[in-house]
Structure 1
């Protein structure tokens, strides 16, 4: 079982990439070192928004299908198989599969893993938490979300962190309005997190999504004023995906992290546990319309 003597996660065995039927359209980056630069817009027509909503719904339903299987004794590899098969059955391509070499159809991030955990033979244990991050590609667009699940009986402070992270996403979404600056989102999230002494991960952010998996638009989850002062526009599509931790900054404004040799898995340096929630949304005249609902 890939955990060390202290119970911290270590890399496990990763199985070969799963196949995708030839009749399912691939994103342009599949089979390449990386995606081509995105030169489009983060503002979408109503018709294109509905296509993103379709991809988002598939991804959201896949997350729920995986979440229903989360329990002690299950491996993250088994969870990834559920995600993969669900999207394939829906006629969608798993966006992470082959993205910059990522080998799986979902990200499974446990306990101290902040994000980008690669599914492998890690066995879920009672008391763990696991973030399931899934993006589906269909009709030329991506829909992206993630959700943190409890595994069995979880410590009270860990359960509170998970619920607090969910609420921080809600606070971030409620701050969105056309004409405001992007940095209001992070300000709302960080001010909420500070009330409970949670750390906020700064180096991994929300992003523009739709025709591109990551468009280049950055959505910080901390108070980034006066940086990131771009105006929020109606019909703009992006993700908000705060990552909060039980750890505190080791220096002002910074949560230290490490990346495994797989070039993907990111963990807190102090091994403090972390949770994350994400939605893809479109900006409306009154706020946001979430595009990643089951």
Structure 2
């Protein structure tokens, strides 16, 4: 069942999303060589709880942490650990917040220090594909329209679009219907109606699109060990123009010197 959110419920999701955006920014302040990914997780959890929220991910189907932290060739669902960030890494931070009974969900991939131009372009273009997908989240379109524009944009650069993991509805539950793939055909899939809230989250690889799950039952990495990027917003379907409920504003105030400006 696809739930339509009332304007009152949308406001509650926005409140959750503000805490989430600020939690991301707190983490962004600490992303530098030498910090452990477990320390980043602690920063996020403490910030969320201090602002009366709950980390959506911690305990979800047994997930052990507040953040999914995915490094380099890990696409999503990486565990925080004692690994110390190194110059040249890329790190995806995926976080969710539950506040007032509603979830919000977003992700951002950061360079750690200087990275190659090739990998920086992967980050920029994955971020751009997110916004292209969001443009399709309007009443009367279909889910396949979102996936089509993401896929057609990134594949022209030779990138891979992960098929096994998709975006999703968001609301009282972290994962709701409909599923939102990052590939597809125009005019296919569930019809979008005003009031549907979805997480759009391109997961794009520098090499082949094939992935494998590690023995921990969570971590997903590329089979060819090439880097992957992941960006995500929680979005409200509206008439005419989608409304982005989450925000990268606070992240980009912190990372203004390394902001991933759109590169088409």
The two structures have a TM-score, normalised by structure 1, of: 0.82
8 Å CA contact 1:186, 1:220 repeated in 2: yes
State the match for 1:266 in structure 2.
220
How far apart in 2 are the matches of 1:154 and 1:76?
18
| Paired position in structure 2 for 1:275 | 229
- Name the counterpart of 1:211: 172
- Displacement of 1:225 after TM fit? 5.6
Aligned to 2:242: 288
State the 1:237 CA deviation.
0.3
More helix by share: 2
SS in structure 2 at match of 1:267? strand
Distance 2:240 2:185 in 1: 23
The equivalent of 2:143 in structure 1 is: 182
Other-structure match for 1:24 = none
1:281 is displaced (CA, Å) by 0.9
1:30 match:
none
Q: Given that residues 42 and 238 in structure 1 are in contact (C-alpha distance below 8 angstroms), is that contact kept between their aligned partners in structure 2?
A: no
Question: What is the rounded CA distance, in whole Å, between the counterparts of 2:147 and 2:3 in structure 1?
Answer: 19
Correspondences of 1:129-278 after superposition (within 5 Å): 129-224=90-185, 228-248=188-208, 255-278=209-232
Conservation of the 8 A alpha-carbon contact between 1:176 and 1:283: yes
Which ranges of structure 1 fall in alignment gaps of 5 or more residues?
Answer: 1-38, 249-254
**Which residue matches 2:66?**
105
Aligned length: 248
Q: What is the deviation of 1:224?
A: 4.3
**What do residues 148-181 of structure 1 show as CA deviations (whole Å, max 9, x unaligned)?**
0110110110000000000000110112221111
Are the aligned partners of 2:142 and 2:186 in contact in 1 as well (CA < 8 Å)?
no
CA contact (8 A) 2:137 2:236 kept: no
Secondary structure of the 2:38 match is: helix
Q: Please state whether the residue corresponding to 2:113 is helix, strand or coil.
A: coil
| Match of residue 4 from structure 1 | none
- Residues 43-89 of structure 1 show CA distances to partners (whole Å, capped at 9, x for unaligned) of 10000000011111111111111111100111100000110011011
**1:244-281 Cα deviation digits (max 9, x unpaired):** 11103xxxxxx221111111100001101000100001
The Cα RMSD (Å) is 1.2
Q: Does 1:84 align with 2:58?
A: no
Maintained 8 Å contact 1:57/1:143 = no
Pairing 1:71–2:32 present: yes
Is the Cα–Cα contact under 8 Å of residues 199 and 233 in structure 2 kept in the other structure?
yes
TM-score, normalization: structure 2? Answer: 0.91
Give how far 1:42 is off.
Answer: 2.5
Larger radius of gyration: 1
User: What SS does the corresponding residue of 1:147 show, helix, strand or coil?
Assistant: strand
Stretches of structure 2 that go unaligned for 5 or more consecutive residues are 251-264
